[in-house]
Homo-oligomer: A and B are copies of this chain.
Amino acid sequence: MAHGCGSQNSDDIVARKLTALAHPVRLATIRQLAAAGPTGLAAGRLAERLDVAPNALTFHLQKLAAAGLVESHREGQFVYYRAEFDALLALTDHLVGACCSEAEESCGPRCPTSRDR
């Protein structure tokens, strides 16, 4: 505990991203943005779909952006948000990346260690 806070461990970075995802509104947000694809969605339209107050949505979007999971760009009066797909995929890799690396037996047919990549 309380070992150096200067250079952050990879686990800490991933934990920060998971913290950003670990909220019903933010998770639904990411899924909406993921479904919307590279074009993204305007903040207002997102607020409508999720039935969330605009200011509340901004709060959550900022957390997602701080974690590097979404990006925003302005187009006229609208602000479009889109998911950072690379960050999402890297996240899933990290979760089961070291699976069974120290074990003799594999954890199952879907184990990333046991199937070719």
Contact = CB atoms under 8 A, between A and B. Distances in A.
B103 A92 contact: no
A5 to B, nearest CB: 11
A45 interface: no
Contact of A103 (B39, B51, B86, B103): B39
Interface residues of A, number: 47
The quantity of this chain's copies bound in the complex is 2
A21 interface: yes
A116 interface: no
Contacts of A38: 100, 103, 105, 107
A4 to B, nearest CB: 13
B96 A37 contact: no
